[in-house]
Structure 1
């Protein structure tokens, strides 16, 4: 345990931060999550050959259970299924699917010696029907109440919120340049947003060429909000691939020359992006935002934040009033998407995102 309610799970390459807020008795839920986590890696290793293969366009939802054996692999297949008509392998969803699986164990499981399980079945990350809180009756007679929880798998996050609860999430666009503030003991984020219960958001994932996985695109980061982490993971990967351009400052290499067992084969992945003209950055971001808007209209994602070299595209629900860009010089209202260059340090600039529930804020560092 790192501190009260926060736990570190690590097994081979899988490294999770697990947080649960609730009654003291809910620590039993963490034991259930740990027991499930301990067997996920060998399950995935046994299925690696099929998980590294492209999802066939002919795959049906009914055949997913036949193609994939383990629960996490099936989550990966289900998350990739809506995108099967393009190139995608289930590995695009692996981090998010693991986070989803551990969160479900956290919310709906219990240690083996618990004697009662009188609580509603957890349905899906971010979607809880007919329950005010996740409750477990433990063998000690205490009620284990989970108010909110998350499982963070390297930035791909599955989260749960009981009614009235919220999480504030930091946005980091370049993991190599993260700042640590010694005064607060916190990492410096490029922005932050708040997710509230009832918004249907159970997963957050980020992809880009600067991250731990290969990218075909040039985005510094693409962060996607979706119903679960596996779906957010796939969508972030594919939208980040779409943020692209042809320019001498962009350097690529075949994926299999960088990693022998990559699922991308000889496809050329981005290894470095030098300074680009602002108009090239803008066009690349617009390409990614167009795809994100299409998937948002189709109900696949809730929203996305796309970042490249100080410029940002926001793809948000098209609510009355749109998106307000707050700046000392000239406030601007834009429908559905918002574009701006990173403000100078100390500038009073931020973006207010209006949703049908509560406003959340993506702000410049220090705000």
Structure 2
């Protein structure tokens, strides 16, 4: 029998001041003003149409992503979160995260966002090197990034995160480590530190820049990990580091194969149903179509044969052990259905196993894609 995991809510705000050359997220360069009130109305109507699939469950976390959610007015944010609370039970201690770019962080508005219920901010810094910021198409400077972090630290939030990239065009080891040192000096409770990858449907995809080679990337990763560990950060996911007790609860729910409603342009959802069905939803990507009331692009059930790969693709991103009982509880499948893949992974030294859990080994972390491919068959 399928167990219903915790339920989160993802809300997508699709506009940015300009599109960054590396970004393959569903974001659109803003032409004119953000349609604050109109878009919030559509978000709440979109939510109304998905309520039947929630089973009346409580929302444990909310994540407002983009795009640049901090382009939304504080009044619109208040209406949005009030509207969510009227429609769904939201846990009184729910983590509510909003993404923000340093160039859009203003003290007055952020106090108002906090009053609306936002208690965690994720700031897209990416680098403190002015030359690299220009190369990445960012509209903020290093001073604005530091100011945004200090503002977040003084707001009385539950937590805040800094997003930082490494492996940037022509980036040296010392430049990458300097970025990390500057981020650590701002003492964020959470750091997302991830490698720049070139995605096909981006400007960098059509005109690839020169990136550090594999040996240089390994040196950056290895020495960066030492810096983070020495500063008290613990890696708990492939590219996420946190001080003890400050992991991102919303992302943890994703990686633990929890459920999430997705509303807004291009948002994805995963919803377990009481009858054992696991539904995926995808919302209309472009704001034009979405704001004509055409919210749903597709809704479909996940085939049982696809569930092992989907489950382990998420679970094995985490450094924590994977409870064996949860595989059956959250997929409805018996462990025997993946026994041969598990045995192959064990024989290859990619995972370890005991009576209660599976644990990805150091080798498994380094060769995560080959490990996951074992569960595709």
Q: Which TM class, normalised by the smaller chain length? A: under 0.3
Say which structure is richer in helix: 2
* TM, length-normalised to structure 2: 0.25
Higher fraction of strand: 1
When normalised by structure 1's length, the TM-score is: 0.26
Higher relative contact order, structure no. (Cα contacts within 8 Å, ≥ 6 residues apart): 2
